[in-house]
Amino acid sequence: MALTEIQLTKKISLTKDVFELHYDMGKQVQMLPGQFITFILPEIGGRSYSILEILDNGTIILIIKRWDTQNNGRGGSIALCDAEVWDNFKCVGPAGHFLLKDTPYNKAFLGTGTGLVPLYNHIIHGLAKKTWEKYQLVFGVRYMQDLFYLEQFQKLKEQYPDTFYYHLVVSRDEAQGMIQKWYVTDFLTENTVKQYQEYYLCGAPAMIEGCQEKLKSLWVSEEQVFFEKYT
């Protein structure tokens, strides 16, 4: 796969340690909904990041959590989140098989933290087709202060009131307004599996494994479950 030079053009702080980063790819790039790019970082190696969106002008948008070294991080996310606007990077891609299925089925998307990114990309592509299927997002974080993209979810709800639904959940804070104290796995019940035929999971491996076990116990077949583990 060809190595591409990309330049950081914009950096937006979404929470204390999550950043929305815009890069100029210098050309129009094709992607399939749910794919990622891989940065080749000097002295660190390859680090993959799901694509939130690619704009018509060749801007690629990512959302990256900064893992500091006391939190097991080996420096990849620090190099990207601490970069200055106009810094250049090398990357390959888009690539990946965590793709949105073009099927007439209701779909549930369960993600934690930056695991939201490919799910958001799936959802905006799916909704833009204006078909009848339901797109249900369940977005979980530990604390209220870790939530992001609330305005974007509300806008999607206003734009697609009959096809887009979302739940926000926190696992370690008290419930507040529409935000429930839940684990994303709590969404999966006998009642919900009657409503959704496909499940898209993304985030930390433990969350994905928890959802897979729960879905299995509810008799959802493996062919209906798609996932990307962030490792």
Torsion of CA 170, 146, 31, 209, to 10 degrees: -40
| Single residue of 21, 50, 156, 185 touching ligand FAD by CB under 6 A | 50
Q: 3-class DSSP state for residue 109?
A: strand
**Span from 6-14, 24-32, 111-119, 134-142 in contact with ligand FAD (CB under 6 A):** 111-119
d(CA 208, CA 215): 10
How does DSSP classify residue 133? -
Binding residues for ligand FAD, rule CB under 6 A, total 25
Least Cβ distance, residue 195 to ligand FAD (angstroms): 27
| Single residue of 9, 75, 180, 197 touching ligand FAD by CB under 6 A | 75
Q: 3-class DSSP state for residue 17?
A: coil
d(CA 157, CA 147): 17
**Span from 64-72, 140-148, 181-189, 193-201 in contact with ligand FAD (CB under 6 A):** 64-72
How does DSSP classify residue 177? T
Judged by CB, which is closer to ligand FAD: 77, or 185?
77
d(CA 217, CA 47): 34
Window 113 to 172, contacts with ligand FAD (CB under 6 A): 113-114, 117
Judged by CB, which is closer to ligand FAD: 75, or 133?
75
Classify strands 198-203 and 36-41 as parallel, antiparallel or unpaired: unpaired
CA 76 to chain centroid? 18
73 binds ligand FAD (CB under 6 A): yes
Interface ranges with ligand FAD (CB under 6 A): 36, 47-50, 62-65, 67, 72-78, 113-114, 117, 203-204, 228, 230-231
